Structure 1
């Protein structure tokens, strides 16, 4: 069973804005990506905080991440979408019931009020449903590896996390978020 994660792109749309100053986000073909067909050169845009294209050897890719877990489940692959520059992707092999999965993790530093993430992903048709996929968040103090906290409502000062993951037999996208004012999930209201 395989999970393909092809591109991770993180862009800062509005740094330092308060709620009263909030800007309207560009829509359609007017955003950062529209200026870089196939994402060629997008990492040079001042609004891009981090871009991972996986075009290097895994040993080089690992140097851009603070925590690399289960490296034996990661490899560089030639399967990429036609619409992007580059000729490599990251292949993450999912071994259901045999491991807790692999991850790449890094801190971005301070000073971002708003971040937008974009990534491409392809799942092998034989892949069984998975739990826990792409997650982002913030920890105070910042940590060099991802933290737990499942089932525990954050106090509002130590962390927040949100994730997107495929859910159910139809593989619809579901969100999995922890923040101070969260309510529990149905039917029992647990966190």
Structure 2
């Protein structure tokens, strides 16, 4: 007897290999946060209570329209704290961009370590494979991740810090302890330090590699200016691993105070998007 689910999975993998599942120019998701309910647009909403985030209507915290998304890492006596939303686009893509506007609160100060926003690669048969396992190196078949994050470099930069990619991939380097594999960082040649209390247009591109090859890429732009391009990435070793999740969040490792960021005008597409022209 033919196992039909396996037949369809094989066909799907073949289509991925031929590039037939991704049109030349396609917008796959957008959210201007005007719809009224986050759970109608995001499959996972991890916001503890109203203080930790939600839809924002105060005009000074909205980039365009009448609403934005507010996410707050609540004070937690120096322990970890965060709020996040997740959008999957299964089974996934090979080359995507996401563009959004964001503003950090005028008093934002994470201390040292935080995570912000990023693309994740999950197995097409397990959307959760790209989550968890911090400090563990991907094996090429389970997951990959790249986040755009501000980094204070232990006080060298004012809060929230200088932008960098924080990436998990099979060839990442270990921590100094030789045991843990924390995200490897990629910086522009010139540091870009984010200012608090103003809106920026951010855009990130990630291109997966041919399985086992070093032809993957990642790049980011701020206000339409490309600041970093990284080539030669090996993100995966199997077609079962695709680019298929986006996380917006504010996660702080040692949360001693409330820290807030606002998001607006998100677009995920198979092509470069650029700043709004309206």
- Taking structure 1 as the reference length, the TM-score comes to 0.65
Residue by residue over 1:93-113, the C-alpha shift from the partner in whole angstroms, topping out at 9 and shown as x without a partner, is 221336621111121012511
How big is the alpha-carbon RMSD for the aligned residues of Structure 1 and Structure 2?
2.9
**3-state SS of 2:145 partner:** strand
Secondary structure of residue in 2 paired with 1:143: coil
Equivalent residues in 2 for 1:93-108, closer than 5 Å = 93-97=72-76, 100-108=81-89
Larger relative contact order (Cα-Cα within 8 Å, sequence gap ≥ 6): 2
Return 158-167 or 134-143, whichever deviates more.
Answer: 134-143
Which of 118, 121, 127 is the matching residue for 1:143?
127
8 Å contact from structure 1 (residues 136, 163) kept in 2:
yes
Q: Which residue of 1 aligns with 2:100?
A: 119
Answer yes or no: is the 8 Å Cα contact 1:165–1:174 preserved in 2: yes
Residue in 2 aligned with 1:70?
47
Deviation at 1:158, TM superposition (A): 0.7
- Rounded to whole Å, the distance in 1 between the matches of 2:174 and 2:163 is 19
Once the 2 structures are TM-superposed, how far is the Cα of residue 183 of structure 1 from its aligned partner?
2.0
Using the size of structure 2 for normalisation, the TM-score is 0.46
Kept in 2: contact 1:163–1:177 (CA 8 A): yes
Q: Extract unaligned runs of 5+ from structure 2.
A: 1-15, 20-24, 182-278
Tell me by how many angstroms 1:145 deviates.
8.9
Alpha-carbon distance between aligned partners in 1 of 2:87 and 2:128, rounded to the nearest angstrom: 7
State the 4+ residue runs in structure 1 displaced beyond 6 angstroms: 16-19
Looking at structure 2, the residues matched to 93 and 121 of structure 1 have their Cα atoms a distance apart, in angstroms, of: 13
Which residues of 2 match residues 1-191 of structure 1 at below 5 A? 47-57=26-36, 60-72=37-49, 73-78=52-57, 79-81=61-63, 84=64, 86-97=65-76, 100-129=81-110, 131-140=114-123, 141-143=125-127, 147-168=131-152, 169-170=157-158, 171-184=161-174, 190-191=180-181
CA contact (8 A) 1:107 1:142 kept: no
Specify which structure has the higher proportion of strand. Answer: 2
Structure 1 unaligned segments of length 5 or more: list them.
1-15, 20-45
Larger Rg: 2
May I ask how many residue pairs the two structures share in their alignment?
Answer: 146
